[in-house]
Structure 1
Amino acid sequence: MLKGEKMELLIGRIAEKKILSEALASPSSELLAVFGRRRVGKTFLIRSVFQKQLIFELSGVHDANAAEQLLNFSKAMADALDSRLTPAVPKNWTEAFWQLREFASPILKKRKAVIFFDEFPWLSSHKSGFLSAFEYFWNQWASQQPNLIVAICGSAATWMIRKVVNSKGGLHNRLTRKIRLLPFTLHETEQYLKRNNINIDRYQVLTIFMVMGGVPHYLKELKKGESATQAIDRLCFTKDGLLSTEFTNLYRSLFENADRHISVVRALADKPSGLTRNEIIAACNLQSGGTTSILLEELVESGFITPNLPFQKNANQSIYKLSDEYSLFYLKFIEHSRATGTGTWLKKSLTSSWRSWSGYAFEGICMKHTDHIKQALGISGVFTETSAWRYISKDGKGAQVDLLLDRQDNVISVCEMKFSSTEFVIDKTYAAELQYKLEVFRRQSKTKKTLFLAMVTTYGVKNNMYSIGLVQNEVTMDDLFLP
């Protein structure tokens, strides 16, 4: 951020602000790490909370060598010194950290100060010696400075976890605080759009969220006076639309050998009901073993896929689903779209493929807002285990529940999630399907608990002869937007 530049307001991030404020109030030195997917607002969070204490900031450059990164270090040092003359470029990272120490020491004698390394994994390029020099800098000097906070950020979430959070080397157990920054919730997304003078109703906000999730960098592209359909048209289906080409950049900037990650994402996009680890291995021709475990962990930690624990099963039998809204939308509608330009999305959004896809996308959003569903059901204070369940009989007939809330008050809430543009109508066929699902679940799980069917919909369920007596609880779109 340039000197004198006005910082825009930080939306949401209540828990994260609390962690960073506690670091500011701490009487000891602090080493804190913020990690999460690209474009989620990590840098913005650090700059917003620490803007008065920030004395030095350096950002790594993707695929740059050590010489280029060190040149950027000397330029960052010139900014910190408020000097027009760039200091001599350090020969290596050990010398760079000595310069930083000399610069920071007199400031730290007087006040609290923050040194910020952004895109930390990119600074640690091959054979650069960056990480070992940083470890020495922290262990031998920075950790002894009670007025110092060193903040490090990285989009390559797994690198951050392996080399920093769970470091076996010089940073082992050195982190004092960590934040895994997730995209905005629906509530934060609505707040962010309103702050940008974009006043659209919640159904349209939900539609936008289905396409790009709560990623601030994408939401920033929306324009005042534009409907959700117009915005999707412009961003996804025009030549220069940000989201028309973001997909490959997104994965390649986060992961080495990103092709394997992309193949897993593609396999899950083709199977919205989810795949087990073994099914992923078979679908993507992967080897069973540690490398696949790391691959899946990398995608989970970066927020692209989510393991759902099956009812009464252990974590080894988790069902993985693609939980990144943008990736799901890109692979379904953008990648092979022949039609482009104004009006493309208006036509596509009237097709049956949009209707079936939007149902899956809505389910995914509900899964991310499980706490809101519990709140709406009045069970926030009740201990609850969240799981999924699926069953396929020998004759191929089956049933699946994407969200089960197994409650300590002797009830299991069976949640059915349905997206529609009006009140949802349960007809005779769907009522029979729901009844069958509840019966099969009770028989297969052998549970003695009471089963409550909870419908999670956009505008509620229309009262008719099929819904009365079948639906115990209702959760609407508005409940998902609660703070």
Structure 2
Amino acid sequence: MNQFFGREAEMKGLKDLLRKKTSSLVVLRGRRRIGKSSLAEEFSKLFPTHYMFTGLPLSKNPNAKAQYKEFRRQLTEQGIPSYDSTDWGDLFSILAKHAQEGQVLIVLDEITWMGSKDPDFLGKLKIAWDLYFKKNPKLILIISGSNSAWIEKNILSSTGFMGRVSHKILLKELPLHVCNKFWGIKKDLISPYEKFKILALTGGVPRYLEEILIDMTAEENISRLGFVNSGILFTEFENIFSDLFNGRHKKYRSVVKCLANGSASLDQLSKKLKKSKGGDLSSALKDLEESGFLSRDFTWQIKDGIPSKLSQYRLSDNYLRFYLKFIEPNKKTIEKQTFRGLPISWLSIMGLQFENLVLNNLNRIIDILNIPSHDLLTSSPYLQTKTIKRKKCQIDLMIQTKFNQLYICEIKFSKNELGNE
């Protein structure tokens, strides 16, 4: 049984919907393996009746008919005979007849797989919502998917679903204090250094953290997860890009690889990749950011806190960087089962990975500094370009309050105590 930790705020938002007197359409987004299905399953425990469906991965190259047949199979498996229906509208109508009364939860998981090959899918779903599902005031329909860009374009920004979505959830990595719970009874016995070594590979992604064996060292866990051909994180990279981005995966992969050594501006990426700043490059950056793999850090004007146009893209996903830096270069040796241990230089990545963990837990930093949330103006990595009147500077993290207080934070990782250098 999978462990479920954290997500209190998200669960509260879902539970609040139970108090409504009308039906609710919920959109749940987030990176692959981030816990969308687990959240929906945990929420389903509150319902006497629930139906859960998921699409076929795009890596298996299913056509619209295959997705449709799989949905029919899952209907039958959950006690709803679908007969010989050949239309999404018919299937949704059949499902709706079993969800007319009482508290009912319906989950369409990985809807980006389910509906991407059929141009009529979303239209039929919208009609089913309007004509059937929403008529039950105690029904909640959750639409979930890993391709956030697709969901944004086809659902959240679509005129067809305008005014119909009651609640939106964007799941991000688990905060560090929740990650700590995956070490179970040994969470207070294992050193922070050991934990950070594992987090350098997994980040705060719950599905990866579930694979930790707490009686093994960090090195043993990392080796078994990423450096043997049966390890879940050995094949995960290819699964992510083929399932999410399908035919575009090579273009997206090149962007991610370009950011593996550190942040870069759009101009820098354009030069490195030899691509124009618009078109495919901008589209790839937006999709990768929406899907939770990249962060775009904007700088701002200190005098008024207004964001500037200057920004840098950062590979905020620890697993992707670790894979590109250490697993991929040794892929052939790992496949031949002749690789032993870990790459000699693997600890060299800890600085960048620790920086991600800090920036992904920014709220905790603000709490430690005792900055009231209502006083906060902005917080982010800060970049200042060189002009005639000023020098160039780059700050790992800067926090500015409404009272023009500046907190300048340098992010360093060391297994030893840091001095005042």
Q: TM-score, normalised by structure 1?
A: 0.78
Residues 409-458 of structure 1 deviation map (CA, whole Å, 9 limit, x = unaligned) = 3321110111111101234xxxxxxxxxxxxxxxxxxxxxxxxxxxxxxx
For 2:322, the equivalent position in structure 1 comes to 329
**Partners of 1:69 and 1:123 within 8 A in 2:** yes
1:394, distance to aligned residue in structure 2 (A) = 8.9
1:280 is matched with 269
* Offset of residue 245 of structure 1: 2.0
Question: Cα offset for 1:140?
Answer: 2.1
Aligned to 1:447: none
**In structure 2, do the counterparts of structure 1 residues 291 and 374 end up closer, same or farther at CA, with 3 Å as the change threshold?**
same
Specify the code of the residue in structure 2 equivalent to 1:325: N
Corresponding letter in the other structure for 1:46: A
Conserved 8 A contact 2:23-2:135: yes
CA contact (8 A) 2:27 2:169 kept: yes
SS at match of 1:114: strand
Correspondence for 1:308: 297
Out of 363, 371, 378, the position equivalent to 1:371 is 363
Tell me, yes or no, if the aligned pair for 1:57 and 1:117 is still in contact at 8 Å.
yes
Indicate how the Cα distance of structure 1 residues 411 and 259 shifts in structure 2: closer, same or farther if over 3 A, else same: same
Structure-1 residue corresponding to 2:74: 76
What is the aligned residue count?
A: 405
Query: Where do residues 325-474 of structure 1 align in structure 2 (5 Å cutoff)?
Result: 325-337=318-330, 344-345=341-342, 348=344, 351=345, 354-355=347-348, 357-381=349-373, 382-391=375-384, 399-427=393-421
Give the 3-state SS of the residue equivalent to 2:124 in structure 1.
helix
SS in structure 2 at match of 1:358: helix
Q: Residue 86 of structure 2 aligns with which residue?
A: 91
Distance 2:384 2:68 in 1: 57
The 3 A distance-change label for structure 1 pair 245 and 8 is: closer
SS of the aligned residue for 1:178 comes to: strand
Select the structure with the greater relative contact order (CA < 8 A; seq sep ≥ 6).
Answer: 2
AA in 2 matched with 1:98: S
Whether the 8 Å CA contact 2:181–2:187 is kept in 1: the answer is: no
Conserved? CA contact 1:277–1:317, under 8 Å: no
Distance in 1 (alpha carbons) for counterparts of 2:228 and 2:8: 36
Corresponding residue number in structure 1 for 2:230: 240
CA RMSD of aligned residues (A): 2.5
Give the residue type in structure 2 aligned to 1:80.
Q
Residue 309 of structure 1: CA displacement? 1.2
State the percentage of identical aligned residues: 29
Aligned match of 2:204? 214
Structure 2 unaligned segments of length 5 or more: list them.
none
- Matching of residue 118 in structure 1 with residue 116 in structure 2: no
Question: For the Cα contact (< 8 Å) 1:383–1:408, is it kept in 2?
Answer: yes
Contact 1:266 1:331 in 2 (8 A): yes
1:173 counterpart = 2:163: yes
Amino acid at match of 2:99: A
1:163-186 CA deviation, whole Å, 9 max, x = no partner? 111213x21221110100112111
Distance 1:143 1:275, change over 3 A: same
* AA aligned opposite 2:368: A
Shift in Å at residue 288 of structure 1?
3.0
SS at match of 1:146: coil
- Structure 1 position 94, deviation (Å): 1.4
- Where in structure 1 do 4 or more consecutive aligned residues deviate above 6 Å? 195-198
SS of residue paired to 1:96: helix
What are the ranges of 5 or more consecutive residues in structure 1 without an aligned counterpart?
Answer: 1-6, 428-483
1:470 corresponds to? none
Could you say which residue in structure 2 is the equivalent of 1:42? 36
SS of the residue 1:25 aligns to: coil
Q: Distance in 2 between matches of 1:157 and 1:308?
A: 19
TM-score under structure 2 normalisation? 0.89
Q: CA separation in 2, counterparts of 1:198 and 1:129?
A: 53
Mapped to 2, the partners of 1:339 and 1:373 lie a distance apart of 41
Is 1:262 the counterpart of 2:256? The answer is: no
The residue identity in structure 1 corresponding to 2:152 is: I
Is this contact kept in 2: 1:322–1:328, CA < 8 A?
Answer: yes
8 A contact 2:109–2:143 mirrored in 1:
yes
Partner secondary structure for residue 329 of structure 2: coil
Classify the secondary structure of the residue corresponding to 1:248: helix
1:195 and 1:10 mapped to 2: Cα distance?
Answer: 16
2:175 and 2:321 map into 1 onto residues whose CA distance is 18
User: Residue 65 of structure 1 aligns with which residue?
Assistant: 63
Aligned partners of 2:23 and 2:137 also within 8 Å: yes
Q: Secondary structure at the match of 1:320?
A: strand
For 2:192, the equivalent position in structure 1 comes to 202
Distance, in Å, in 1 between the alignment partners of 2:188 and 2:323 is 24
Q: Is the 8 A contact 2:300 2:308 kept in 1?
A: no
Residues 92 and 195 of structure 1: CA distance in aligned 2, closer, same or farther (over 3 Å)? farther
Structure-1 separation of matches of 2:308 and 2:121:
37
The corresponding residue for 1:457 is none
User: Closer, same or farther in 2 for the Cα pair 1:70/1:390, shift >3 Å?
Assistant: closer
Secondary structure of 1:384's counterpart equals strand
